[in-house]
Homo-oligomer: A and B are copies of this chain.
Amino acid sequence: MIVKKDVTIYDIAKSANVSPATVSRVLTSNPLVKESTRQMVLDKMRESGFTPNESARSLTKKQTNLIGFILPDISNPFFSQVFIEFERLALEKGFTVLLRNSMDNSEIEAIHLREFSERRVECIIFMGGRINKAKPEKKELEEMSTVMKRVPIIMVNGKMKGMNGYNVRTDEVGGIEAAIEYLLALGHRKIAYLGEKKGVTATDIKIATYKKTLKKNQISIVPKWQIYSDFNIEGGRKATRTLLESDQLPTAIMGMNDLVIYGVLKELRMQNIPIRTFSYVGFDDIFLSDIVYPSLTTVNHNYQILSMEMMNLFEMIKKGKEIKRVK
């Protein structure tokens, strides 16, 4: 296969009567070039439609300006908000984000990790999947530490057991407390909590917080009102069906994220149970919260702060490396 030859700095050099080095200098905004030759070179570039080749550049500079980002599912509004905000920050700093959906599938995660390594990303942001497993598989741990030898991995809202890397998390405990106190203020004393999943790291502490906060307010705990489920709409529906089987019903329902609450609403509608039977609180501040009827009160996870913390941590890590490696 014969490929049309790219315009290179050599071509530009020739047509501008300078050396390739000089062309490269204007490319890198090196101030040493005389303004007139600089303009000349720039003109030739425009004429010929020259675009620098990022692969070549990365190869010599040993730096790709790439950040890898693995998350379960970008169609989940919480993730998309976080991602967009992070992409915006990255753009400001001159970085390009590589997004990959894992669908919480360990094998897909592995594929993405490998690809990120080969593309020499300078950092990996990891959300969901294996980093939330209380008991990750040996293979998963090995993969992670292998990759981490090359490139820092920032785990968001998760911590793999037996793996110490970088972490960023939202204040989940604080969020749960805030949600419960909000409901108490509304006069609720019967509060259900749907949608954590056993075997996921943060689960235990969140459920513990739920119970502790209730106790602190002299409210007795009804075990049947704390129901595990998947993090999605289907999970919310299933949990609702379980909840409805209990002899006594709560007056308020907390969902582990908004999707779970949507599931609740959907199930209630399908069973012709009035939505107003309960009050609802979700945990992600996603744009839908505004839409569903009745409006959800959600505790603001604040993806902006989250994204910013991820970026800050990345820059700290990078700076640390640079300092360590100064000649």
Contact = CB atoms under 8 A, between A and B. Distances in A.
A266 interface: yes
A325 interface: yes
B84 A80 contact: no
A99 B74 CA distance: 11
A67 to B, nearest CB: 12
B233 A322 contact: no
A115 interface: yes
Contacts of A87: 100-101
Nearest to A294: B269
Interface string A108-132: 0001001101111000000000000
Interface in A290-327: 290-293, 322, 325-327
Contacts of A80: 74-75, 80
Contacts of A290: 233, 266
Interface stretch (A16-24, A55-63, A152-160, A213-221): A55-63
B275 A291 contact: no
A265 interface: yes
A53 B327 CA distance: 25
A52 interface: yes
A287 B75 contact: yes
A83 B83 CA distance: 14
Interface residues of A, number: 57
A1 interface: yes
Contacts of A91: 111
Q: How many copies does the complex hold?
A: 2
Contacts of A100: 87
Contacts of A77: 75, 77
Contacts of A62: 3, 6
Interface in A38-94: 49, 51-56, 58-59, 62, 64, 73-75, 77, 80-81, 83-84, 87, 91
Nearest to A77: B75
A326 B51 contact: no
A60 to B, nearest CB: 9
14 contacts: A4-B325, A51-B150, A54-B119, A54-B120, A55-B55, A59-B59, A74-B80, A74-B84, A75-B80, A77-B77, A96-B115, A262-B291, A269-B293, A288-B291
Given A1-B322, A84-B101, 10 more contacts: A2-B327, A4-B325, A49-B149, A49-B150, A54-B118, A55-B59, A56-B59, A265-B293, A266-B290, A291-B292
Query: Which 6 A-B pairs rank lowest in CB-CB distance, beginning with the nearest?
Result: A75-B80, A55-B58, A54-B118, A55-B59, A51-B117, A262-B291
